């Protein structure tokens, strides 16, 4: 067996998530991973058993708008994640997965998921970014709760994303 440090260096990473909706926290992790990897594939979770507020198409539309407005289009690809993450990685020929860590509760979940994935495919490598200080509190769930109560979203998502969220809560 070839040691990984003597084989090819990874240039592409997958950033999986629900992005329901995308927030400044996700954007921060994405931008920081683009400082390390040449390309990042955003794997948008579309597992039928999972409940999302925004449809897959709506979530992708918001991500695309972020990529355009933040001018990070060229090195990011968006793909649908429907089954097991390890299968997605194998199909796309990528080993590295990016995740963000905010609080201790994230760690417990991520720790279990990382080991489950490692059991499914030993070549997977997980890379965790600690949340930037100003986004440690920020989660898509918080955004939805605040939006539902008609609160100000400007600290949570870019201005150009607010319109999609407000529109959703108007219905």
18 binds ligand ADP (CB under 6 A): yes
Q: Token pair of 8, please?
A: 């090819």
**131 backbone dihedrals φ, ψ, rounded to 5°:** -60, 145
| Residue from the set 82, 102, 118, 168 that interacts with ligand ADP by CB under 6 A | 102
**Rounded Cα–Cα distance for residues 95 and 88 (Å):** 10
Q: Token pair of 33, please?
A: 């991973």
Q: CA torsion sign, 134 to 132 to 70 to 156?
A: negative
Active-site annotation, residues: 26, 50, 102, 140
Q: Give the nearest distance from C-beta 38 to ligand ADP in angstroms.
A: 20
Tell me the window of 59-67, 89-97, 99-107, 115-123 that interacts with ligand ADP (CB under 6 A): 99-107
**Rounded Cα–Cα distance for residues 18 and 43 (Å):** 8
Q: Give the nearest distance from C-beta 4 to ligand ADP in angstroms.
A: 23
139 binds ligand ADP (CB under 6 A): yes
> Residues in the site for ligand ADP, rule: CB under 6 A?
16-19, 23, 25-26, 29, 45, 99-100, 102, 106, 131, 135, 138-140
């Amino acid at each position: 067996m070839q040691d990984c440090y003597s084989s090819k260096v990874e240039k592409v990473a997958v950033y999986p998530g629900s992005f329901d909706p995308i927030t400044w926290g996700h954007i921060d992790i994405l931008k920081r991973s683009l400082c390390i990897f040449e390309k990042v594939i955003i794997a948008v979770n579309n597992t039928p058993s999972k409940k999302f507020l925004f449809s897959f198409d709506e979530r992708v539309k918001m991500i695309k708008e972020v990529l355009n407005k933040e001018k990070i289009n060229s090195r990011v690809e968006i793909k649908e994640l429907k089954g097991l993450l390890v299968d997605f990685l194998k199909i796309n020929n990528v080993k590295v997965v990016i995740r963000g860590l905010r609080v201790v509760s994230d760690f417990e979940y991520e720790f279990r998921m990382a080991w489950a994935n490692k059991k499914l495919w030993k070549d997977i490598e997980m890379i965790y970014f600690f949340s930037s200080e100003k986004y440690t509190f920020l989660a898509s769930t918080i955004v939805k709760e605040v939006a539902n109560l008609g609160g100000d979203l400007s600290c949570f998502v870019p201005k150009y994303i607010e319109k999609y969220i407000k529109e959703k809560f108007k219905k």
